[in-house]
């Protein structure tokens, strides 16, 4: 049981390049999401998915695309990287709101990946 | 906005002193979660509070949910160097989970 696996751990891109950050979970979690973390700004939600085939925007979706073709995988695509996208990116997963009983996620909360540190020059 | 407000932003304590971080929302919360992130690490789920006035304890950590479900607090008794990190609260709004900006705790040995 590996939990949430993110690759790569580090990446340097040139402005305008595209890339995909990979995220995979083996816990059969229905809910997956992507966050970016910048100094002093906490975690900001980029996109999320409540199940395979369903995605939606978070607080800061511009410049990012996602897809959810399987329960396990939730890749994040940067179409044309910009220096403003320099950040640490975290993927997270959890049981869905509907299947967890009282409150959100029951007593489980999010499981986060170890993060991808992205620098755009 | 959608986020929850956390204070203080930073807290420096001597080992053995107590520590408290507060999380406030302008709207009533259905629940609130707390996470800890060690330096260089990723956030780790600590606990979820659901009921008005709820108090939960985990060893030296005490979590409270306000009666009006608009605020929450995390209190650490007799801090240790292993408590160093950033503590985040998180709220959800229709499948979207928003995090506060966090309280960074530094513990001097």
Checking if the pLDDT of A100 tops 60, the result is no
pLDDT grade for A106, boundaries at 50, 70 and 90? low
Cα separation, A91 vs A74, in Å, equals 8
**Mind listing the pLDDT tens digit of every residue in chain B (109 residues)?**
457 899 999 999 999 999 999 999 999 988 899 999 999 999 999 998 989 999 999 999 999 999 999 999 999 999 999 999 999 999 887 778 889 999 999 999 9
A93 and chain B in contact, CB less than 8 A:
no
Query: Strands, DSSP E only, in A1-121?
Result: 4-7, 10-13, 19-25, 31-37, 43-51, 54-57, 64-66, 76-78, 87-94, 111-112, 116-120
Question: Which residues of chain A have a CB within 8 Å of the CB of B31?
Answer: 103-104
Nearest Cβ partner for B48 among A31, A48, A107:
A107
B55 and chain A in contact, CB less than 8 A:
no
pLDDT at A107: 60
The CB density around residue A51, as the number of other CB atoms within 10 Å, is: 14
> A45–B97: do the CB atoms touch at under 8 Å?
yes
Nearest Cβ partner for B42 among A44, A109, A112:
A112
Q: Which helix (H) or strand (E) holds B65?
A: strand B61-65
Average pLDDT over residues A83-105: 75
CA angle B13, B16, B21 (to 5 degrees): 50
pLDDT at B31: 87
Mean pLDDT across chain A: 90
For residue B75, the distance in angstroms to the closest alpha carbon of chain A comes to 20
For residue B80, the distance in angstroms to the closest alpha carbon of chain A comes to 24
Question: Which residues of chain B have a CB within 8 Å of the CB of A31?
Answer: 95
For residue B42, the distance in angstroms to the closest alpha carbon of chain A comes to 5
> A97–B95: do the CB atoms touch at under 8 Å?
yes
Nearest Cβ partner for A42 among B30, B47, B100:
B100
pLDDT at B1: 44
A62 and chain B in contact, CB less than 8 A:
no
pLDDT grade for A109, boundaries at 50, 70 and 90? confident
Contact criterion met (CB below 8 Å) for A42 and A58: no
């Amino acid at each position: 049981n590996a939990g949430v696996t993110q690759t790569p751990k580090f990446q340097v891109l040139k402005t305008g390049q595209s890339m995909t950050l990979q995220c995979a979970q083996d816990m059969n979690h229905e809910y997956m999401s992507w966050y970016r973390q910048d100094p002093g700004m906490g975690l900001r939600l980029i996109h999320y998915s409540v199940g395979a085939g369903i995605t939606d925007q978070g607080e800061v979706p511009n410049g990012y695309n996602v897809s959810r073709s399987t329960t396990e995988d939730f890749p994040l695509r940067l179409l044309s990287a910009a220096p403003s996208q320099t950040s640490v990116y975290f993927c997270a997963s959890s049981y869905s709101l509907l299947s967890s009983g009282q409150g959100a996620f029951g007593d489980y909360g999010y499981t986060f990946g170890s993060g991808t540190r992205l620098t755009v020059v | 906005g959608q986020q929850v407000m956390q204070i203080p932003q930073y807290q420096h304590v001597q080992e053995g002193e107590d520590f408290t971080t507060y999380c406030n929302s302008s709207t009533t919360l259905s629940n609130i979660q707390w996470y800890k992130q060690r330096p260089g690490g990723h956030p780790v789920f600590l606990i979820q509070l659901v009921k008005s006035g709820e108090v939960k304890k985990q060893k030296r950590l005490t979590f409270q949910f306000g009666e009006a479900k608009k605020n929450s607090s995390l209190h650490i008794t007799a801090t240790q160097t292993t408590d160093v990190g950033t503590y985040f609260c998180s709220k959800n709004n229709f499948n979207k989970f928003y995090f506060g900006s966090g309280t960074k705790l530094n513990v001097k040995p």
